[in-house]
Structure 1
Amino acid sequence: MEIFYYISSFSIFILSIYIYKNLSNMNNLITAIMLFTLGLAPFSWVLFQDSGILTNELNIWILFFPFLLLFSINYPYEIEFTKNIKNIRYRYLLFVPYFLYFLIYFIIKILGMILLKEQVLFGLLKSVTDILISQIFSFTIIILNIFYIAISYYILDQKIQHTESNTLKKQLNLFVVGLRLFAFVFVTSIITQYFGIFNEIITPVRMKFLYSFAIIANAVLISVAMAKYKFLDIKLKRKSFLYYLVWGFLIFLYTFSTSLIILKLVTYKNNYLLFGSIFVFFIIFIFYYKAVDKFISYFFIRDRMDYEEIIKNFFLKVSSLDSFQEIRNIVIDELQKLLNIEKVDVILVDKIDKKYYKKSSYSFLQMPERFQKNYKWAVYFFSLKFQDKIYGYLLIGNKISETKFNKAEIDLLNSISVQISMVLHNMDINKELYEKKLMEKQLNLARKIQFSLLPDKNIPHEKFNIYWRYKPATRIGGDYCDIIKNKNNDLFFVMADVSGKGINGAIYMSMIRTFFHTTVDLINIEQILLYLNDYLKNKLPAKIFVTMLIFNYKNENDKLQYIHLGHNEPILYRSKKNSVEFLQADGMALGLTKNEVFKKNYKINNINLEKNDFIFSYTDGITEARNNYDQLYGQKRLFEILDENKNKKIEDIVNKVSQDIFNFRGNYGQTDDIAMLSFKRK
C-alpha cells in the first residue's frame, strides 16, 4: 500500500514541477503550488503511519483547498461573482484560518516539548490540544474545506456554462471531473471519521487508498487537459521530461504488477508454470508496449490525421471571423493543435516583389532576406493570395515529431492558406462596405444637421412675403441661404456660395452661418464682413473664398440696403414698370485679399421696394446647370422665366424656376449646389 502512496505523491509532484518549469503567469504558479500541497497528503501517511488522514505532522497539505479556490477565481478570467473576491485585499483572507490553525498547532507542539518532563502539565496540555486542535479547530477547518470545494465547483461550473471557447470548456470539464472525484472521497472520509458511518467497510487504510487513487486520477486528467487542450497554455511535447516520465511510469506499472505475480508463482515451486507465465508475460508485453506507444502518441504527437475533417472544421471556424487578429489566433491555435507544429504565424505584407506571385508556397531560403532575418524559425511560407492580390503569408515551423512534411500535409496547408486568403478577401470587402455604409450614415446625419440650420419655410413678416429653396449637388453642400432677424427686428437676407462643394463646403458654410447668428446683435455688418474676410484669408490653410449677397432691411426707417461681394447679380422686379432687371453692383468675394484692399472694393447700396416689387437672389448652380447637349442654363433663360411668372406669388415663382431647371437638365445630373432666396414687398 505504501508503494501506491509513493506513486500518487510522486505523480502529482512531478506534474507540479513540470507546470512550474513552464511558468508563464500567476495561474501556473498557483496551480503548481496547489498540486504540490495535494501531493504532501499520501507522502505524510507513509511518514506518519498511525496518524489520521487530516491530522499529522505534515498537515500542511490542507492548504490545497484555499489554493483550489484561488485557482478557480483566477483561471482563466474572472466572472461577475468573483470580481470582489479577486481583489488583492480579499485574496489573502482565504488563507487566514489555515495560518491560525498551524500557528496554534505549532505553539502547542513547542510547549509540549518544553513541558515533556512535567507529566501532569504535559497530560493537561495534551487534553487541551485534543479539544482545541482535533475537535474544535480541526472541525472548523474541515467545514471551511468543504465550503471552499463547493464554491470552487460553482465558480468553475459558471465559467463552463458562460464561456464561448470550446477548448476552454473541455479544459475545465476535465478539471471539474477530477474535482468531483476528490470531493466525493473527501466528503466520504469526513462522514466516516466524524460520524462513524461505513466504519467497518471504509477503514482508514482503504480511505487513504481512495485519496491516493483520486490524486492519481487528477494528475492524469490535468495531463490530458494539457496534452489535448493546452491547459494553462502548456502543450506537452514529445521527448520532453514528462514524455519520458509517462513512458517510464507505464512500463514500471507493468513490470511491477507482473513481478508481484511471478513472486507469488515462485511459492508454488512449479518451474513449468513459472517459465510458462514468464513467456506469456513477455508476449503480453509486446502488445502492451505497442498500446502504450499508441496511447502516448495520441497525446504527445499525432502524425496520422483525417485531412478532410481538418479542412472542414477549420473552414467552419475561420469563415465567420471578421478581424485579422481573430483569424491569426485561431490559425495558430488550430494548426499547432491539429498538425502538431511547433510554431505557426500569419503575417500581412504591404508590398512584395512580383516574382513571389507565381507559387503557392516557398521554402525558407527562397524568401527575401528581410523575411529570413525576422522569421528564422519558419520552414515554409504559404502565400495568402486571392486573385491578383497577396495579403500575406502563412508561416509554418518544424513539426513536433521532428519528421518532414509529406505531400498530403503540404497539400493540406495549401488548402488552409487558400481558405485564409478567401476570408481575408471577404474581410476586405466587408470593411469597404462597412466604411461606405458608415460614410453614408455620417453624410445622412450631416445632411440632417445642415438642413436643420436652414431657415424655416414659412417666415411671417408684416412687410415681406419670403420664400427660399435649397438643393445640394451631393448630400451636403456649400451654398448658403439664410434669413436672420436681430434684436431691432431688422432683417438680413443672406445668399452665399463657398468655393467647392460637399463636406468641405458644408463645413465652411456652417462656420459662416454660426458667425452671422452669434454676432448680428453685437457688431455691425461691416465688422462682420471684415472679420470673415480676414479669417478666410489668413486663418484657414486652404485657399477658400466665398461670394456673398446681403440685403439688410432696416425696420426703424423702412429702408433696404444691399452689399454685393462677387456673387451672381440679383434680379429685381418693379411692379409699376412691370419689368424685370438685374441689380448692378460691384464688390469682391471674401477671402481673396487683405482687409485693406477688401474694404476699398465693397459698397453699401440703397434700394427702395414698393408694393409687389420683389428681389430674386440665387447661386451659380442655376445659371451653370447643364443638359445632355452641354448647354448652360444661363442668366438669359433665368431672366425669361422670371419675366413670364413675375405676377405670381413669390413661392410659385421660385418653384417655377426650380421646375424649369429640372426640365432643362433632363437626365443630366446636377453638378453644383442650387440655392434661391426671394422676397416680395407686401
Structure 2
Amino acid sequence: MDEIFRDQNAGMALFKLLADLIQKIFVISLVGYLAMHTRHIPEIWERRPTWKTYIIPVIIFGLFSIFGTYTGIVMPNKAIVNFRDLGPMIAGLIAGPIVGFGAGLVGGIHRYFLGGETRLNCALATILIGLISGLVYKLNKGKFIGFFWAVVFAAVMEIGHVGLALIILKPFDHALEIASNVGPPMIVVNTMGMCVFAFIIRNLIREKEIESEKDALRIELEVKSHELLIAREIQRSILPASPPALPGYDMAADMWPAKEIGGDFYDFIPLSENPPPPDGYREHAIAGDSPPAPDNPIVDPRLGIVIADVSGKGIPAAIFMAMSRTLVKACARPWHIAEVMEDVNQKMLADNSSGMFVTLFYGVLDPKKRWLRYTNAGHNPPILYQHSQSAIKYLNPLGPVLGVLENGDFGFRLKEDETELEPGDVLVLYTDGVTEAAPEAPDGGARHGKALEMFGMERLVKVIRENHALSAQALLEKIQSEVRLFIGDSPQPDDLTLLVLKVL
C-alpha cells in the first residue's frame, strides 16, 4: 500500500512539475511575443536606434529576468530552478551588447540584493550572460544566430553558470552539491525556454523578411508601372498626333493598347510623286546603299498610309514596333510599293533575332486622282465601303507577313494593286484586335465547351454600313464603342487600332 501511495505521489509531483513548466513556457511566449512586436527591436535591426530604442528593451527584459528569479520551478530534489538568465540572454541575442548587458545588470543587481550564499555567482553569471549574448550578436553582424545555435548557446551559457558557481562557492564539496542538484534541471529548463523564444524570433524575422520583400516588390512594381506609363507616352508621341489635313478627305486614327504599351502602329507619310526611279534602284536599296535620285522634278504630293500589327504584346512588341515603323518610314516611296516593302522585309530580317514578325498594309493615296495603290503583307483586309453601289470591297493580302522569310525564299514576293475612290466612299483599316475581340468566359475558358464568339468581320461591316455617313472620327469612335460593348467588362485581349479614311 505504501508503494502505491509513493507511486501516486511521484505521479502527482511529475504532473505538477509539467504543469508548472508549461505555465512558465506560456509566460515566456507571451513576453517574447509582446517584446518582439514593439517598435524598438525592429529599430535596432534596421540600424536606426535612439536612446529609447535601448532603454525600453532593457527595462522589459530586465523585468523579465526579475520575474524569472521569483517564479522558479521546484524540482523533485527540492532544488529551485529559475529563468533569470533567459531575459538577458535573449536581449543580447536579438538586440546587442547594450541591451543584453543592461538587462543582465538589472536582473543581476536585483539578485545580489536578495542575499544568500549564491548571490555573487548568480548575479555575476546573469550580467556576463547578457554581455556575452550581445557580443555574439555583434560577431554575427547584428543578426540573430538562428534557432539551432540559440538553443546550443543557451545550454552552453547555463553550463557556464554552473561552472562559475563551482569556482566562487566555498567549500568545493558544498558547491558541487548545489551544482549537482540545481545545474542539470536549470540547463534543461532554460534551454527549453530558449527553444520557445528562438521559435518566436525565427518566425518574426521571417515575417519581417516577407514584409521587406513585399515592400521591395511593391516599390519595384510602382517604378516599373511609372516607367511603362512613360513608355506609353513616348510610344503615343511617335504615332501621328492627328491625321494630316488633306482637302477632299476626312481621316481619323487611334490605337488603344491591351497593356500599357502595344505592338500596333499606324502612320501617315507625306510623299512626293516622282516618275519611277532609274534602273539599279532596287539593287542599291537591297544592298543598303542610297539609291540614285531621279532627275525629274517633283510632280504631285501623295500620302502613304500604313497600319501594322507586330506579333506579341508588351515591351518586346513595342520595341519591334518602333523598329518596324522606322524602317517603313525610311523606305517609303510613292512608286513600286511592293518592292519597297520587300526592302523593308530584308532590312527587318537583318536585325531580327527575336523571331518576331509584322503584318502590314501600306497604301499610297493620290488625292487628286482619287486612287489608292497598295500592298498587303499578311494583314487583315481593309474594308472599303463603296457609296455609289452600297457595296463592300476587301483589300485582301497580297503576300506573306514581314520579318520571317528572305525575299525569294519559298516564292516570297509581294504584289500590289490599286482601287479607285469616289465621293462618299469610306475605307476602314484595322488590326485583329477589333475582329478577334471576345468577352471573357466566367470560368476563364470556353463556354459549354465551345469557342467564344468574336466580334468578327460581319459585325464590323454592319457597323460601317449603318454609320458610313458619320465623320471619320465619329465612325472610328462608334466602332470602338461597339467593340467595348461587345466584350463588356472583360479585359481588352489585344491592341485595338483603327484608321478611317472618308472621301468627301
Go from structure 1 to structure 2 and tell me whether the alpha carbon gap of 1:564 and 1:336 turns closer, same or farther (over 3 Å shift). Answer: farther
Cα pair 2:147 2:202 within 8 Å, conserved: no
Distance in 2 (CA, whole Å) between partners of 1:541 and 1:396 is: 61
Cα pair 1:467 1:677 within 8 Å, conserved: yes
Partner of 1:637: 459
Distance in 1 (CA, whole Å) between partners of 2:394 and 2:244 is: 25
Distance in 2 (CA, whole Å) between partners of 1:346 and 1:675 is: 57
Go from structure 1 to structure 2 and tell me whether the alpha carbon gap of 1:666 and 1:292 turns closer, same or farther (over 3 Å shift). Answer: closer
Q: Does 1:551 align with 2:363?
A: yes
Letter in 1 for 2:240: P
RMSD over aligned Cα, in angstroms? Answer: 4.2
Secondary structure at the aligned position of 2:422 is classed as coil
Partner of 1:34: none
Go from structure 1 to structure 2 and tell me whether the alpha carbon gap of 1:484 and 1:346 turns closer, same or farther (over 3 Å shift). Answer: farther
Letter in 2 for 1:639: V
Q: Does 1:570 align with 2:355?
A: no
Secondary structure at the aligned position of 2:128 is classed as coil
Structure 1: unaligned runs, 5 residues or longer: 1-162, 171-227, 236-286, 306-334, 349-359, 363-377, 382-394
Distance in 2 (CA, whole Å) between partners of 1:407 and 1:498 is: 65
Cα pair 1:468 1:677 within 8 Å, conserved: yes
Cα pair 1:549 1:564 within 8 Å, conserved: yes
Go from structure 1 to structure 2 and tell me whether the alpha carbon gap of 1:437 and 1:528 turns closer, same or farther (over 3 Å shift). Answer: farther
Letter in 2 for 1:644: E
Distance in 1 (CA, whole Å) between partners of 2:325 and 2:303 is: 15
Matches within 5 A, 1:377-416: 380=151, 399=157, 402-403=160-161, 406-416=191-201
Go from structure 1 to structure 2 and tell me whether the alpha carbon gap of 1:539 and 1:380 turns closer, same or farther (over 3 Å shift). Answer: farther
Distance in 1 (CA, whole Å) between partners of 2:269 and 2:500 is: 14
Partner of 1:652: 474
Flag the structure with larger Rg: 1
Letter in 2 for 1:676: L
Cα pair 1:342 1:400 within 8 Å, conserved: no
Matches within 5 A, 1:242-641: 301-303=127-129, 338=134, 343-344=139-140, 361-362=147-148, 380=151, 399=157, 402-403=160-161, 406-457=191-242, 459-486=244-271, 489-520=301-332, 525=337, 528-537=340-349, 539-554=351-366, 559-597=371-409, 600-627=412-439, 630-641=452-463
Cα pair 1:345 1:396 within 8 Å, conserved: no
Structure 1 residue 589, shift from structure 2 partner: 0.7
Go from structure 1 to structure 2 and tell me whether the alpha carbon gap of 1:554 and 1:295 turns closer, same or farther (over 3 Å shift). Answer: same
Distance in 1 (CA, whole Å) between partners of 2:333 and 2:363 is: 16
Cα pair 2:365 2:373 within 8 Å, conserved: yes
Distance in 1 (CA, whole Å) between partners of 2:397 and 2:50 is: 78
Cα pair 1:342 1:399 within 8 Å, conserved: no
Distance in 2 (CA, whole Å) between partners of 1:566 and 1:397 is: 76
Distance in 1 (CA, whole Å) between partners of 2:334 and 2:475 is: 35
TM-score, L = length of structure 2:
0.56
Distance in 2 (CA, whole Å) between partners of 1:400 and 1:528 is: 87
Per-residue CA distance 1:556-598 (angstroms, 9 max, x = gap): 9765311111111111122332333223452111022111248
Go from structure 1 to structure 2 and tell me whether the alpha carbon gap of 1:422 and 1:293 turns closer, same or farther (over 3 Å shift). Answer: same
Number of residue pairs matched by the alignment? 336
Matches within 5 A, 1:28-107: none
Structure 1 residue 517, shift from structure 2 partner: 3.4
Distance in 1 (CA, whole Å) between partners of 2:271 and 2:154 is: 74
- The structure whose residues are more often helix, as a share, is 1
Structure 1 residue 343, shift from structure 2 partner: 4.8
Per-residue CA distance 1:223-259 (angstroms, 9 max, x = gap): xxxxx9989xxx9xxxxxxxxxxxxxxxxxxxxxxxx
Go from structure 1 to structure 2 and tell me whether the alpha carbon gap of 1:584 and 1:539 turns closer, same or farther (over 3 Å shift). Answer: closer
Q: Which has the higher contact order (CA 8 A, sep 6+)?
A: 2
Go from structure 1 to structure 2 and tell me whether the alpha carbon gap of 1:341 and 1:483 turns closer, same or farther (over 3 Å shift). Answer: closer
Distance in 2 (CA, whole Å) between partners of 1:581 and 1:523 is: 23
Partner of 2:485: 663
Per-residue CA distance 1:270-319 (angstroms, 9 max, x = gap): xxxxxxxxxxxxxxxxx9x9999899878xx533x6xxxxxxxxxxxxxx
Partner of 1:678: 500
Matches within 5 A, 1:203-218: none
Query: Which deviates more, 589-598 or 670-679?
Result: 589-598
Structure 1 residue 613, shift from structure 2 partner: 2.1
Cα pair 2:342 2:414 within 8 Å, conserved: no
Cα pair 1:530 1:599 within 8 Å, conserved: no
Partner of 1:83: none
Structure 1 residue 406, shift from structure 2 partner: 3.5
Structure 1 residue 676, shift from structure 2 partner: 0.8
What percent identity do the matched residue pairs reach? Answer: 24
Per-residue CA distance 1:350-379 (angstroms, 9 max, x = gap): xxxxxxxxxx944xxxxxxxxxxxxxxx57
Cα pair 1:473 1:674 within 8 Å, conserved: yes
